Amino acid sequence: MVTIRQYQRLTLTAAAVAAVGSALVVAAAPAFAANAIDVTGIGPTNVGVDYSCDASAGATAIKVMVGAPDAESPSATGAQHAIVCDGTNRTAVIMLEGAGGASSPLSAGQTVQVRVALVDGADNVVSGQNKVVSLG
């Protein structure tokens, strides 16, 4: 009889600790949301991205640079300053402007390096990604 009561008490204690632990994890999950950005598509005049960021990260814009993988400078850049950082997944399309104002800085079949970043007000990278892709 004593063994059964000790086993029941241990089980009840373990269940209570597990319930409190899971409640803390669920409540703290938004505080641990990651700042992330991912290239989802690229065309001759724009780049599509999925991103998420917390308001506390201080991200104020998405910036993009595209060019030949071995180039010293990008052949096209773009930025979007109207971003929302609330911890949810979002999508954005950033228009590209070619060096010297070229309207279509990239062409089909070209292999390019794409760099995207969530940046703060001082242009410091909060989160970034770099990919080499071929334009289809």
Higher local confidence (pLDDT), 36 or 27: 36
* pLDDT per position as a tens digit, 112-128: 999 999 999 999 999 99
Is the pLDDT reported for residue 85 higher than 80?
yes
Average pLDDT over residues 9-28: 51
CATH number of 33-134: 2.60.40.2550
pTM of the predicted model as reported, rounded to 2 decimal places: 0.72
Tell me the pLDDT band of 76, cut-offs 50, 70 and 90: very high
Record the tokens describing residue 46, joined without a space: 């724009």
Say how far apart CA 80 and CA 101 lie, in whole Å.
17
* pLDDT per position as a tens digit, 30-59: 444 589 999 999 988 899 999 999 989 899
Domain extents in the chain: 2-31, 33-134
